[in-house]
Amino acid sequence: MKYDFAGIEKKWQDIWDKNNTFAAKNDYTKPKFYALVEFPYPSGQGLHVGHPRSYTALDIVARKRRLQGYNVLYPMGWDAFGLPTENFAIKNHIHPEIVTKNNVARFKQQLKSLGLSFDWNREINTTDPDYYKWTQWIFIQLFKKGLAYKKEMAVNWCTSCKVVLANEEVVGGVCERCGGEVIRKVKSQWMLKITEYAQRLIDDLDLVDYMDKIKISQKNWIGRSTGAEVDFGTTAGDVLKVYTTRPDTLFGATYMVISPEHPYLAQWADRIHNMDDIRAYQAEAAKKSDFERTEVVKEKTGVKIDGVCGVNPVNGKEIPIFVSDYVLMTYGTGAIMAVPAHDTRDWEFAKKFNLPIIEVVRGGDVEKEAFTDCETGVMVNSDFLDGLSVEEAKEKIKDWLSETGKGHPKVNYKLRDWVFSRQRYWGEPIPLVYCEKCGWVPLPESELPLRLPEVESYEPTGDGESPLAAMDEWVNTTCPHCGGPAKRETDTMPQWAGSSWYFLRYCDPHNDEALASKEALDYWMPVDWYNGGMEHTTLHLLYSRFWSKFLYDLGILSKPEPYQKRTSHGMILGENGEKMSKSRGNVVNPDEIVGEYGADTMRLYEMFIGDFEKAAPWSSSSIKGCKRFLDRIWALQENVIPGEGYRKELETAFHQTIKKVSEDIEALKFNTAIAAMMSLLNDISATGSITRGEYKTLLILLNPFAPHISEEIWEAQQMGGMVNEAQWVSYDEDKCKESTIEIAVQICGKIRARITVPADIDKDSVLVQAKADPAVAPLLSGKQIVKEIYVPGKLVNIVAK
Ligand code: ANZ
Ligand code: ZN
């Protein structure tokens, strides 16, 4: 009987489909488990072998939970707005809706072929008007609470295509499409006030169980720092505010720097003698990204302001002010006090421009490099701070600043508000209109969804607006508030919008009165376990946590955090250990693997490939090993013997394997769980047969990993019902202990034999058995025993003469 994986897999996929086997039940009395994986962007390339790593892992968890009696929700959907689809549509003159439909169909067929136990009744698509109606609705609530506002912000502008580019379309400073020059252009944009939630987004990480590295990446992105805002005087009369995390170093400030975008530059234009140089510098800075500007290693550039100086509030000293791009307008106050002795960037700048370096914390050699250590140094050259530690000095100077009114303590966050506007077609229309009389007015709920209109071309207009702006009949509308003439907003939402709440829609995907019913949300939320790529542990996680907190504040959610547990998998690399990519020619197509070895082998292999959290190179030879394992499980059918329990000699092995597989799945150690099953199979094979009871256990353990073959054998062996309806197997801790052990028998310190004895044997019995051993007995005959030693579990030593 051959293992016909293709026939078997098709058969069971059809049965599961027809029976709705994996549908989550709306029975809110049962214990629930919500497993979530990041829904894919349905690209034109189809599924990548990287996708199934995450999907199979949580499929295993979901299947195990079903066997444990939970009502499991394991859903799937499509994050389908976005640039590649739009660009494909522009190039090929196909509606993005059709492109999306085709890509989704392909992805879905591929996912189904892997036997993933998604509840397809709950499939969602972010581009579906019934879905984005609620994305728009959430935006309106944000707007009503003052959390959405318009602001002039810099965008990437391709000077030759004349379009706004997303950050990922700017490659090496030039346009990815045409290679043209990209500059920063200021545009009025919708912003979301995520910064208002910065502290809660940090604090509530204590409520959840995320991998440490994920919590750290969230915290780093939010970037909380504490310090002081200090008012410097200027010879122009204006106060120049700076933010510093090191107010203790105030006496070491030898110059100041303001950002090229700082408004004082325009204000001081009449006083500044070298305004032309400064304008030229501003134009250069506009071409660079924040990232390029603040890189520590980059060559420092800047222009000294000729005509205005700063005044240090602690000693009244006049110091020069520079304009330099390493100071960003978007952080702190857009101006800094520079302390070259204790800050690396300032030090490099001071060396280049020949500025004084004054040591105020002793402990390093500030002529050689900046001394940045805060733990060990002692304050010097700092008047009333001299002799204090850095920590003490920070406190004392903050008090001094507050008392003299020259500054105050300040907490700052790196986190910026979320730029929510895109000048593109393929996104959710922003449901607001602008009325001359009433200002920005949201559409009434009854008018949602505001559908994307049909347009002639998806190409953005040459003046940087979305193609919607060219449709007069769509743009011109009436004000919902006063009935007068009004214009629709033509920007659309970013791709992040739909993915910021999709896990809520799965709870109740067909609801047309609310984003989901309160009962459904209260039952299913929070997600019990969310797995996804490390690349999404900053923005997506932050944005979706922000929206969840907002919905919690509105009373829609009953818990402030959306995901109880978050894990991340490593990337699957090419066979050469490099990232899989078309250009490297090392892309493995999942369809081919499934075709050649079957989905069960593919699933096992993806889980066996290495530590789940780490990157792993593809290996064709290891796939074959996984296939052989399944072939051998299949072949056991020929040697089934009666018996519902485990045979004595296999009892320990079974209990140990159940324990190991049960625990390893929870710890994401799928590779060692599979290794344990392989080792159990070896033990079984050594006996030449398998009892029905043993087979049953083996199939239940295997089922989450290889669901098709386990169903097929279960049915063929008439185990009753389907294995996916069975109960997860349990183990007995006592029976996991090895029941027999091997003991070395020494005569006068020399090993003469090894005997197998029960693990809990006592000294007297072990000695009887040792002395009776055929290799030992002759050596003792006629001799007198002087001493008998038993080292429990290890050895017996008999001294005789
Ligand atoms: C003086 C000083 C002395 C600083 C010293 C550091 C070390 P974090 O910790 O990342 O919050 N800074 C402030 N605003 C800035 C801006 N808009 N662009 C670039 N740099 C800016 O960094 C805060 C420190 O970064 C601040 O503390 C300031 O330099 C600089 F020994 O002030 B510090
Ligand atoms: Zn109006």
pLDDT in tens, 599-649: 999 999 999 999 999 999 998 888 999 999 999 999 999 999 999 999 999
Examine the fold and report which residue of 359, 380, 413 is the final residue of a domain before the chain moves on: 413
Mean pLDDT of 428-454: 96
User: If you measure from the C-alpha of residue 472 to the centroid of ligand 2, how many angstroms do you get, rounded to a whole number?
Assistant: 18
Ligand with the closest atom to the CA of 224: 1
The reply to whether 103 and 187 lie within a common domain is no
The reply to whether 750 and 727 lie within a common domain is no
Q: Does residue 17 lie in a domain region?
A: no
Q: Does residue 126 lie in a domain region?
A: yes
Ligand with the closest atom to the CA of 225: 1
Neighbours of 381 (CB within 10 A): 14
User: If you measure from the C-alpha of residue 336 to the centroid of ligand 1, how many angstroms do you get, rounded to a whole number?
Assistant: 7
pLDDT greater than 90 at residue 462: no
Mean pLDDT of 567-591: 89
Expressed as residue numbers, the domain containing 545 is 35-139+496-572
Beta bridge partners of 751: 746
Binding site, annotated residues for ATP = 582
For residues 55 and 139, give the distance between their C-alpha atoms in angstroms, rounded to a whole number. Answer: 30
- Pull the structure tokens for residue 691: 């009892």
Residue nearest to atom 27 of ligand 1 (CA): 244
pLDDT in tens, 295-307: 767 788 999 999 9
Question: Among residues 415, 406, 255, which one has the least CA distance to residue 331?
Answer: 415
pLDDT in tens, 712-729: 999 999 999 999 999 999
User: If you measure from the C-alpha of residue 326 to the centroid of ligand 1, how many angstroms do you get, rounded to a whole number?
Assistant: 10
Question: Among residues 285, 314, 282, 313, which one has the least CA distance to residue 298?
Answer: 285
The reply to whether 57 and 171 lie within a common domain is no
Structural contact between residues 570 and 615, judged by C-beta atoms closer than 8 angstroms: yes
H or E element that contains 442 = strand 439-442
Q: What share of the chain is helix, strand, coil (3-state, %, to 5)?
A: 40, 20, 40
Please write down the long-range contacts of 372-378, taking CB distance under 8 Å and 24 or more positions apart: 372/342, 372/343, 372/344, 374/246
CA 770 to chain centre: 59
Question: Among residues 562, 581, 560, which one has the least CA distance to residue 572?
Answer: 581
pLDDT in tens, 84-137: 888 888 888 899 999 999 999 999 999 999 999 999 999 999 999 999 999 999
Residue nearest to atom 20 of ligand 1 (CA): 327
Q: Does residue 10 lie in a domain region?
A: no
Question: How would you label 133-171 residue by residue, b for 16+ Cβ within 10 Å and e otherwise?
Answer: bbbbbbbbbbbeeebbebeebbbbbbeebebbbbeebbe
The reply to whether 106 and 175 lie within a common domain is no
Residue nearest to atom 31 of ligand 1 (CA): 342
Examine the fold and report which residue of 684, 710, 735 is the final residue of a domain before the chain moves on: 735
User: If you measure from the C-alpha of residue 431 to the centroid of ligand 2, how many angstroms do you get, rounded to a whole number?
Assistant: 15
Of 245, 251, 347, 358, the one to substitute when testing ligand 1's pocket (max ligand atoms within 8 A of C-beta) is: 245
Structural contact between residues 464 and 423, judged by C-beta atoms closer than 8 angstroms: yes
Residue nearest to atom 21 of ligand 1 (CA): 327
Count of all residues that appear for the chain in the document: 801
Question: Among residues 666, 636, 646, which one has the least CA distance to residue 732?
Answer: 646
Q: Does residue 2 lie in a domain region?
A: no
H helices of 308-449, where? 344-353, 390-404
pLDDT, residue 299, reads 85
- Pull the structure tokens for residue 542: 């932050």
- What angle do helix axes 539-553 and 129-144 make, rounded to 10 degrees? 70
For residues 592 and 595, give the distance between their C-alpha atoms in angstroms, rounded to a whole number. Answer: 5
For residues 433 and 650, give the distance between their C-alpha atoms in angstroms, rounded to a whole number. Answer: 73
Task: Let me know how many helices (H) and strands (E) the chain has, helices first.
Answer: 25, 34
Residue nearest to atom 11 of ligand 1 (CA): 225
Q: Which ligand 1 atom lies nearest to the CA of residue 329?
A: 17
Peptide bond into 707 cis (omega under 30): no
The reply to whether 43 and 127 lie within a common domain is yes
Residue nearest to atom 5 of ligand 1 (CA): 343
The band of 174, judged by pLDDT with boundaries at 50, 70 and 90, is: confident
Peptide bond into 449 cis (omega under 30): yes
Residue 281: CB partners within 8 Å, gap ≥ 6?
A: 260, 301, 302, 303, 323, 325
What is the per-residue DSSP string for 107-173? HHHHHHTTT----GGG-EETTSHHHHHHHHHHHHHHHHTT-EEEEEEEEEEETTTTEEE-GGGEETT
Q: Does residue 603 lie in a domain region?
A: yes
For residues 249 and 391, give the distance between their C-alpha atoms in angstroms, rounded to a whole number. Answer: 11
Q: How many domains in the chain?
A: 5
Q: Which ligand 1 atom lies nearest to the CA of residue 245?
A: 27
Ligand with the closest atom to the CA of 437: 2
Q: How far is CA 260 from CA 59, 171, 279, 485, 570, in A?
A: 52, 23, 9, 40, 41
User: If you measure from the C-alpha of residue 379 to the centroid of ligand 1, how many angstroms do you get, rounded to a whole number?
Assistant: 19
Residue nearest to atom 32 of ligand 1 (CA): 244
Mean pLDDT of 698-711: 98
Backbone angles phi, psi at 261, to 5 degrees: -95, 5
- Pull the structure tokens for residue 308: 């205005």
pLDDT, residue 61, reads 98
Type of residue numbered 458: Y
Of 246, 314, 322, 413, the one to substitute when testing ligand 1's pocket (max ligand atoms within 8 A of C-beta) is: 246
User: If you measure from the C-alpha of residue 583 to the centroid of ligand 1, how many angstroms do you get, rounded to a whole number?
Assistant: 41
Of 336, 357, 359, 398, the one to substitute when testing ligand 1's pocket (max ligand atoms within 8 A of C-beta) is: 336
Judging by DSSP bridges, how do beta strands 565-569 and 209-210 pair with one another? parallel
Question: Among residues 99, 78, 100, 382, which one has the least CA distance to residue 246?
Answer: 382
Question: Among residues 257, 264, 228, which one has the least CA distance to residue 405?
Answer: 228
Q: Does residue 200 lie in a domain region?
A: no
Q: Does residue 22 lie in a domain region?
A: no
Examine the fold and report which residue of 397, 413, 429 is the final residue of a domain before the chain moves on: 413
Which CATH number goes with the domain that contains 549?
A: 3.40.50.620
User: If you measure from the C-alpha of residue 245 to the centroid of ligand 1, how many angstroms do you get, rounded to a whole number?
Assistant: 6
Structural contact between residues 319 and 253, judged by C-beta atoms closer than 8 angstroms: yes
The band of 177, judged by pLDDT with boundaries at 50, 70 and 90, is: confident
User: If you measure from the C-alpha of residue 483 to the centroid of ligand 2, how many angstroms do you get, rounded to a whole number?
Assistant: 6
Ligand with the closest atom to the CA of 373: 1
The reply to whether 247 and 357 lie within a common domain is yes
Q: Which ligand 1 atom lies nearest to the CA of residue 334?
A: 17
User: If you measure from the C-alpha of residue 437 to the centroid of ligand 2, how many angstroms do you get, rounded to a whole number?
Assistant: 5
Binding site, annotated residues = 582
User: If you measure from the C-alpha of residue 150 to the centroid of ligand 2, how many angstroms do you get, rounded to a whole number?
Assistant: 18
The reply to whether 322 and 271 lie within a common domain is yes
pLDDT in tens, 16-34: 999 999 999 999 999 999 9
pLDDT in tens, 403-415: 999 999 999 999 9
pLDDT, residue 761, reads 84
Which CATH number goes with the domain that contains 761?
A: 3.10.20.590
Of 290, 312, 331, 397, the one to substitute when testing ligand 1's pocket (max ligand atoms within 8 A of C-beta) is: 331
The band of 741, judged by pLDDT with boundaries at 50, 70 and 90, is: confident
Q: Which ligand 1 atom lies nearest to the CA of residue 342?
A: 31
Structural contact between residues 255 and 321, judged by C-beta atoms closer than 8 angstroms: yes
Q: Which ligand 1 atom lies nearest to the CA of residue 225?
A: 11
Beta bridge partners of 746: 751, 797
Ligand with the closest atom to the CA of 484: 2
User: If you measure from the C-alpha of residue 489 to the centroid of ligand 2, how many angstroms do you get, rounded to a whole number?
Assistant: 14
Q: Coil, strand, or helix at residue 299?
A: coil
Q: Which ligand 1 atom lies nearest to the CA of residue 326?
A: 19
User: If you measure from the C-alpha of residue 488 to the centroid of ligand 2, how many angstroms do you get, rounded to a whole number?
Assistant: 12
Which CATH number goes with the domain that contains 728?
A: 1.10.730.10
Type of residue numbered 14: D
pLDDT, residue 181, reads 85
Residue nearest to atom 28 of ligand 1 (CA): 244
Ligand with the closest atom to the CA of 230: 1
ipTM: 0.93
Residue 177: CB partners within 8 Å, gap ≥ 6?
A: 87, 158, 161, 169
Q: Which ligand 1 atom lies nearest to the CA of residue 247?
A: 1
Which CATH number goes with the domain that contains 243?
A: 3.90.740.10
Neighbours of 640 (CB within 10 A): 16
For residues 172 and 166, give the distance between their C-alpha atoms in angstroms, rounded to a whole number. Answer: 13
The reply to whether 266 and 156 lie within a common domain is no
Q: Coil, strand, or helix at residue 48?
A: coil
Q: What is the mean pLDDT of the chain?
A: 94
The residue whose two tokens read 């169903």 is 711
Q: What pTM value is reported for the model?
A: 0.88
pLDDT, residue 461, reads 75
pLDDT, residue 693, reads 97
Question: How would you label 542-563 residue by residue, b for 16+ Cβ within 10 Å and e otherwise?
Answer: bbbbbbbbbbbeeebbeebbbb
Residue nearest to atom 25 of ligand 1 (CA): 244
The reply to whether 184 and 42 lie within a common domain is no
Q: Which residue has the higher pLDDT, 438 or 779?
A: 438
Structural contact between residues 679 and 729, judged by C-beta atoms closer than 8 angstroms: no
Residue nearest to atom 33 of ligand 1 (CA): 244
Of 250, 261, 343, the one to substitute when testing ligand 1's pocket (max ligand atoms within 8 A of C-beta) is: 343
The reply to whether 555 and 534 lie within a common domain is yes
User: If you measure from the C-alpha of residue 48 to the centroid of ligand 2, how many angstroms do you get, rounded to a whole number?
Assistant: 50
Residue nearest to atom 14 of ligand 1 (CA): 332
The reply to whether 124 and 173 lie within a common domain is no
Structural contact between residues 36 and 59, judged by C-beta atoms closer than 8 angstroms: no
The residue whose two tokens read 């792993």 is 616
The reply to whether 254 and 373 lie within a common domain is yes
| Pocket (CB within 6 angstroms of ligand 1) | 225, 243-246, 249, 327-328, 331-332, 334, 336-337, 339, 342-343, 412
Structural contact between residues 430 and 188, judged by C-beta atoms closer than 8 angstroms: no
pLDDT, residue 296, reads 67
Lowest mean pLDDT among 44-58, 79-93, 154-168, 594-608: 154-168
pLDDT greater than 80 at residue 168: no
pLDDT in tens, 499-551: 999 999 999 999 999 999 999 999 999 999 999 998 888 889 999 999 999 99
Q: Does residue 18 lie in a domain region?
A: no
Dihedral over Cα of 114, 115, 118, 123: its sign: positive
The band of 580, judged by pLDDT with boundaries at 50, 70 and 90, is: confident
- What angle do helix axes 51-67 and 648-666 make, rounded to 10 degrees? 120
Neighbours of 14 (CB within 10 A): 11
Ligand with the closest atom to the CA of 338: 1
| Selection from 148-162, 639-653, 766-780 with the highest mean pLDDT | 639-653
